[in-house]
Structure 1
Amino acid sequence: MTSAEIRQSFLDFFREKQHTIVPSSSLLPDAPNLLFTNAGMNQFVPIFLGQQKPQWNPPRVADTQKCIRAGGKHNDLEDVGLDTYHHTFFEMLGNWSFGDYFKKEAIDWAWELLVERWKFPAQRLYATVYKPGPGEPSEFDNEAYEHWAHLFREADLDPKIHVLSSGKADNFWMMGDTGPCGPCSEVHVDLTSDGDTRGALVNKEDPSCI
């Protein structure tokens, strides 16, 4: 698939899931502490902070946001050219729920898009969920774990191998030093020739598993 086909397929998929498709916001954000738009959530910050109410019904949207990461918290400059997946400019695909659906739907749709629509081999996929280390906030994200475990079991795959846990550095999202935050979940794909690393390369900064 070309990048244009991936973009359109993503938006079409979430349109089918009753998401309103919203345009990419400007690369110059309306935020005093941000030089460039660096994430898809930037245009929705007032909603996350409770300053605005979502205008969509149902309150769910999807977009493909143009981003630049060349400074601040999300600075990828030092990694550009050292691997195959860090860039100063890129597009971030995102689906957003504002008090509507939650983990189950987000995980089910991620699986449906990757495995059923885009035909990723399920045996090459690994999901990660949050498990706090000593002194880290919150608790083990059992809800996300159970949803992922169910999907892998249905694919005749062992969740003990395909659902991994990690701490704050990899699986706890924070908007900043203060503000919205919480456990997050990721999907990694094994790109090695045999695709049988059993999760050993997840979060190891290896371009063979992204």
Structure 2
Amino acid sequence: MTWEILNIIGTMAFAISGVIVALEEKYDLFGVYLLGFTTAFGGGIIRNVLLGLPVSDVWNQNMLFTVAFLTMTLMFFIPFHWVLSWKRWGVFFDAIGLASFAIQGALFAAAAGYPLSAIIIAGVLTGTGGGIIRDILAGRKPLVLHQEIYAVWAVLGALTIGIGIAGETWQHLLLVVVIVLLRMLSVTRHWKLPGRVDWFILLRKVKN
């Protein structure tokens, strides 16, 4: 049940995220579908490749492909100014996709008997892989590399699954909500991981 719920939530959220980016870049219908599908399913493909699982498993999700197709079609044909007004919601839908797929990927690896390190990698790649492909195809710098704290929340979710803290369906869904809230707080509060420049500035201040 958890698996299916997270799959549907993540697929719809990332499909919408891909459509919003495609329309912002003024892509045509093909571009909208391309970005939407790669955002929704790219993370699962990357996860399967690195875990040595059949990539063909991704193509057997006919129901999810239908959900993504209908979601993208609806988004494309609604009034254009409505979609543009959703720009501020793009980060929100991306956060939902990140959280849902990070937990789903971690559950996938845990069910297959992989160790904690693989569970974390599976969670992070499933949660961020589609967004990375989306941004590259749109000619943008991937969010995970330069924006407010992003992949860390996927690590947190996968770690929680890997060490067995969350084992029930309601706990998985609560974890999704927590990750979405943390991601949105990191955006509104401008939380960022320290970088090389930040450390040099800190050292200068200490010396002065």
**TM-score, normalized by the shorter chain, greater than 0.5:** no
TM-score range, shorter chain: under 0.3
Q: TM-score, structure 2 length as denominator?
A: 0.27
Instruction: Judging by fraction of residues, say which structure has more strand.
Output: 1
Q: RCO (CA 8 Å, sep 6+): is it higher in 1 or 2?
A: 2
Instruction: Judging by fraction of residues, say which structure has more helix.
Output: 2
